[in-house]
Structure 1
Amino acid sequence: MVGLNRRSALGLALAAGLAFCSLAQAQEFPSQTITLVVPFAAGGSTDLVARVIAEKMSGELGQNVIVENVGGAGGNLGADRVARAEPDGYTILMGTVATHALNPLILKTKPYDPVTDFTPVSLLVLVPNVLAVNPQLPVNTVQELIDLLKSKPGEYSYASSGNGTPLHLSGELFKSMTGVDMQHVPYKGSGPALTDVLANQVPIIFDNLPSSSGHMKSGTLKALGVTTVERAASFPDVPTIAETVPGYETYSWNALFAPKDTPPDVVAKLNAAANKALTDETVKARMKDFSATIVGSTPEELGAHVKAELAKWEPIVKAANVSLD
């Protein structure tokens, strides 16, 4: 009996110690460098947002937040890495509409579940897309483009950064909501797509606003409309597509995610640091230059956002008959 009591006491002590260590770990977070995985190559819009936010989060958390680019498979490689990481808050993801809405709907083989394999942290920013045309195309408004496309169905094409991308599906949503008929020409990125549109090889493009902005300012590309509900602050004279096509809305977005089962206290600290970073005047200025709209959110709001995006894009993906291995 004495031995049993002693073993019971030791067991209770051990359990108490483990519980204390777990609590202490959460309270001490972070005690080492945090890796923010960007699931795309350096230099793109997601990478830029990540580096601006990471710098300010480092100051808030008292530990370095370093950006690691893990590109490939349309963002799936980086997202999958974070989904499989230890749920301790030290490996987090800069997720996008591609990683958490489009890829899960398009891919035949799904490496992760965007809802159950991640813990939402915070929605950060929305980035507008833009409908633009080569200046030689005889249209100046969204309505004039619709009229032209309806008068000559199937004769015109639009470029995007690739099959299954938000820009491709922005074009497909435009087609379905306006009843126009135009062919999709996919490219391996916005760069080569823009090259052909500027050369008038393809007259129309759906692109991220930041990558087209320089050509819009120089006049080598004519912007007809941005894809967000509100006009972009950096181009206030460019109307929204929704002003002509009510209800039309697409955009890219960036948000922070941690692996599933990340402790709530850790998520709360990451969320607080991210949202505080978004209030920094330098960050505000950088995001404005980048045409990004600062949002910020609770983890619960981000979780609801992901589910809403999946519901929104599913019928569009099916209508476009987009499916990738």
Structure 2
Amino acid sequence: MLAHLFRRTLRPALAMLGVAICAIGHAAAAETAAWPPKLVRIVVPFGAGSTPDIVGRVLADSLQARHPGTSFVVENKPGAAGNIGTDAVAKAAPDGATLGISIPGPLVINQMVFARLPYDPERDITPVTMLTRLPNVLVVPTSLGASNVAEFVAKLKAPGSSLAYASIGAGSLSQLCMEAIAQRADAKLVHIPYAGSPNAVTALIRGDVQAACLPAISVAPQLASGTLKILAVSTPERSPFLPDVPTLKESGIDVQSDAWNALIAPRGTPAALVDTINAELRQSLAEPAVIEKLKVQMITPAPSSPDELRKTLADEKALWSGVIRAAGIRIE
């Protein structure tokens, strides 16, 4: 009788214990999703040699070395200020086989500048991690005769002044930075867009324009010749690559234009998969070889959580919305 009662009591208890163990196992499995698949496409919405392209290839090499059974392929899909490549990521399957590397333009600025976008960056994109940061610099031709930001602003505000600045395209971060500087200085500048940083640097050297806000690496090779002068960095703090150059804020112009690259995935990518990819990229960005390759380009690793990246995107939108409205920047 006692044995029968014991069996009747024990069986349900063992069954409940089995259910609990299975639930724990499923929860543990959900925390780490299987990745990578046999082929991973890393879409770069800009051309070969661009900063996102450089970052993408360095990281693809790192991932390839750790996962020899997977092919990591960088695909350049330039056009429409990064919208074409970013749209390709947005419309891909959310299975970890397609990722993208992007910058403030396609993820934040373009939604406020373009009349129409083929994707909604806040709805159709899943943030994975911040990847890197790099300094932008306010640079002028030495022939302008401005040795610091105060002297540049004085020339900018002089009666009859019509100084022009170069950008790497309408609605680009380089345009917004210069427009923000002009707005803070209560002055006007003439905008001349160019097809990329090399063209803008050439225009500066020739004296076709009198200023630009460009990635430091695009300007650095010209500094030794003395034709160009960096007046300030636009990052919140001084750059470790240019420790003697003050920030714009230090120089009396409260403008911050922090250039960065981020990793994104399609909408609907499972959180567990996002966490797994995030951990993989953190590992790559901590590798000494990766750090050294990026350092040569004046780029600093800056991994983040998905939520931290979401906050950065929201902060960037708040930062630039007023500048865009005041400058009347619109692309139909």
State TM-score, norm by structure 2.
0.87
1:60-139 correspondence runs (5 A): 60-61=66-67, 63-139=70-146
Unaligned runs of 5+ in 1: 1-19
What residue is the counterpart of 1:228 in the other structure? 235
1:1-325 correspondence runs (5 A): 27-61=33-67, 63-152=70-159, 154-245=161-252, 247-325=254-332
Q: Is the 8 A contact 1:174 1:248 kept in 2?
A: yes
27 and 159 in structure 1: CA distance in 2 versus 1, 3 angstrom threshold: closer
Find the residue that maps to 1:242 and give its secondary structure: coil
Unaligned runs of 5+ in 2: 1-25
AA of the residue aligned to 1:273: E
268 and 321 in structure 1: CA distance in 2 versus 1, 3 angstrom threshold: same
* Residue 246 of structure 1: how far off its partner (Å): 5.2
Q: Quote the Cα distance in structure 1 between the aligned partners of 2:208 and 2:130.
A: 37
- Select between 193-202 and 135-144 the one with higher mean Cα deviation: 193-202
AA of the residue aligned to 2:207: N
Q: Quote the Cα distance in structure 2 between the aligned partners of 1:153 and 1:173.
A: 21
Q: Is the 8 A contact 2:167 2:175 kept in 1?
A: yes
Q: Is the 8 A contact 2:37 2:97 kept in 1?
A: no
Deviations 1:137-183 (A, max 9, x none): 11100111111212235421111112111101110011111212221
User: What is the root-mean-square deviation of aligned Cα atoms in Å?
Assistant: 1.8
What residue is the counterpart of 2:16 in the other structure? none
Q: Quote the Cα distance in structure 2 between the aligned partners of 1:136 and 1:80.
A: 42
Deviations 1:204-255 (A, max 9, x none): 2221111111012332211111111122222222221121135320022100
Q: Is the 8 A contact 2:150 2:251 kept in 1?
A: yes
What residue is the counterpart of 2:9 in the other structure? none
Report how many aligned residue pairs link the two structures.
Answer: 303
AA of the residue aligned to 1:53: L
AA of the residue aligned to 2:270: P
Q: Is the 8 A contact 1:232 1:291 kept in 2?
A: no
What residue is the counterpart of 2:7 in the other structure? none
* Residue 28 of structure 1: how far off its partner (Å): 3.2
Identity %: 35
State TM-score, norm by structure 1.
0.88
Q: Quote the Cα distance in structure 1 between the aligned partners of 2:224 and 2:186.
A: 30
CA radius of gyration, larger in: 2
- Select between 285-294 and 165-174 the one with higher mean Cα deviation: 285-294
AA of the residue aligned to 1:133: V
Q: Quote the Cα distance in structure 2 between the aligned partners of 1:233 and 1:176.
A: 28
* Residue 317 of structure 1: how far off its partner (Å): 1.0
